[in-house]
Amino acid sequence: MPLFDRLKADNQQVWDAYTQHEFVLGLQSGDLPEAAFQYYLKQDYLFLIQFARAYALAIYKAENLAEMRAGLEGVKAILDVEMALHVGYCADWGITAEELEALEEAPETIAYTRFVLERGMAGDLLDLMVALSPCAIGYGEIGAALARSRETKIEGNPYITWIEMYAGAEYQQLVAGMKTEIDGIASKRFTKARFADLSKTFATATRLEIAFWQMGLNIL
């Protein structure tokens, strides 16, 4: 079983709370208040900036050129592609680039992103990638589940483009690639003795994802 799947199975209850959160169900039904989604989009912009730093840290933590190149691709994907897409998507929701630049990080954003960076700095590349995985892989799982669910509202759902983005072939390919990358890193660094600590990291990152969803609802 891939390491990611083992970690998810070891934390199934918290994983379900993340992937089936009230915020996610609101995306599915289209009933999520727009103010909550807009707040989430704004903080997600700041989140992406910190995740670019995390992938830069992955380059430093790498032990060979292949791992360094993988980290570089992560940095480039965020800075050269995802940031522009996110700014454009925010504009569709009435959020200007100037507004994004002036944002302050919410406590939930700080807590999550700094945890990921701390795990990467204190541990090795495997610790860092496990901390990153609930977000990167989880969004793909959520998008795919919502896209195939008969309960997902299609017509008139303002969030259908978000669902389609994470359910799409391009993002699903990224998810598959990250799972493979984690297994490749684990093949050199993983031991049975490390599983408990890695599972704890995974659980904490997933709980911080839950808090990131809840953050948007808390402003209402």
pLDDT in tens, 150-203: 999 999 999 999 999 999 999 999 999 999 999 999 999 999 999 999 999 999
Active site residue ranges: 135, 209
What average pLDDT does the structure give for the chain? 97
CA distances to 21, 46, 132 from 210, in Å: 7, 17, 14
Neighbouring residues of 51: CB distance < 8 A, sequence distance ≥ 6 = 78, 113, 116, 132, 135
- As a whole number, mean pLDDT of residues 203-208 equals 98
**Closest among 206, 162, 153 to 40, alpha carbons compared:** 162
Among 1, 2, 44, CA closest to 177: 2
Whole-number pLDDT of residue 210: 98
What fold characterizes domain 3-218? Answer: Heme Oxygenase; Chain A (1.20.910)
Q: What integer pLDDT is reported at residue 146 of this predicted model?
A: 98
How far apart (Å, rounded) are the C-alpha atoms in residues 90 and 99? 10
Phi and psi dihedrals of 188, rounded to 5? -105, -20
Q: Which residue has the higher pLDDT, 220 or 146?
A: 146
Position 56: which residue type? A
Percent of the chain with pLDDT over 90: 100
**Domain ranges within the chain, ordered by starting residue:** 3-218
Per-residue pLDDT reduced to its tens digit, 5-38: 999 999 999 999 999 999 999 999 999 999 999 9
d(CA 131, CA 128): 5
Residues 6+ positions from 61 with CB-CB distance below 8 Å: 71, 120, 124, 125, 128
Identify the residue whose tokens are 């953050």.
Answer: 215
pLDDT for position 143: 97
